[in-house]
Structure 1
Amino acid sequence: MFSKLSVVVASALLTLAAAIPNTTPPVTTPTSPQCCASVVPASNRGAGIVAALLGLDISGLLVDVGLSCSPITVLGNNCGGTTVTCDAPDKEWGGLIAINCIPITL
């Protein structure tokens, strides 16, 4: 039963991803401090899947991207992930991905 459900969910997500036109996000100077669950190259398969579901084409980007990010608004915020500075992510990305992430060393 679980495998049937996962196939249905995967099919629905792929259909949704195919219906959303892919756009390449602009890469600008990082200005937004973020706490991300992980930071990977844009060429990472998982990052590509997340980006595709959001209608983004990051395949040609040569930068790191953050996954599952939230803005750091208070100095000393306890980030359980990786603290980085990224391009300010668009609201429609819902914190799922941030582009051009550079580590912050404290």
Structure 2
Amino acid sequence: ALPILATATAVLPRTDGAACSVTGTAQCCSSTQSPTSSIVQTLLGLLGVPIGSVTADVGVVCSPITVLGLGGTQCSNQVVCCNNNNFNGVVALGCTPINIGL
């Protein structure tokens, strides 16, 4: 018999009502783009972010998730979990789409 190996990724509920990884934050972005798209490369260049260092999707025009009522959120665009959102909402780096039951 072969042993079964199981792994898990830590996912914690955040105070903003969204489930996101330990290092990420839930964001509402107007869109997510590949780091190779021309608009993202232009934005990253203007912000001084080394373009080659970005490999995951990039959120464009993002804001933190707003909680309404019983755990619902207010976001009519793309809800993502991003690892680096230190660019005043212009872009957020390392974004992964999440489903939080909008």
- TM category (shorter chain) comes to 0.5 to 0.7
2:35 & 2:45 partners in 1: Cα distance?
Answer: 12
What is the match of residue 70 of structure 1?
A: 63
Identity %: 34
Compute the TM-score of the two structures, normalised by the length of structure 1.
0.64
Please report the RMSD computed on the Cα atoms of aligned residues, expressed in angstroms. 1.6
Once the two structures are superposed, what CA deviation does each residue of 1:38-81 show, in whole Å capped at 9, x if it has no partner? 00111111001111111112234321010000011424222121
What are the residue-to-residue correspondences of 1:1-106 with 2, within 5 Å?
30-74=23-67, 75-90=71-86, 93-106=87-100
Deviation beyond 4 Å, 4+ runs, structure 1:
none
2:83 & 2:88 partners in 1: Cα distance?
Answer: 14
Flag the structure with higher helix content: 1
The aligned length equals: 76
Structure 1: 5+ residue stretches without partners: 1-28
Compute the TM-score of the two structures, normalised by the length of structure 2.
0.66
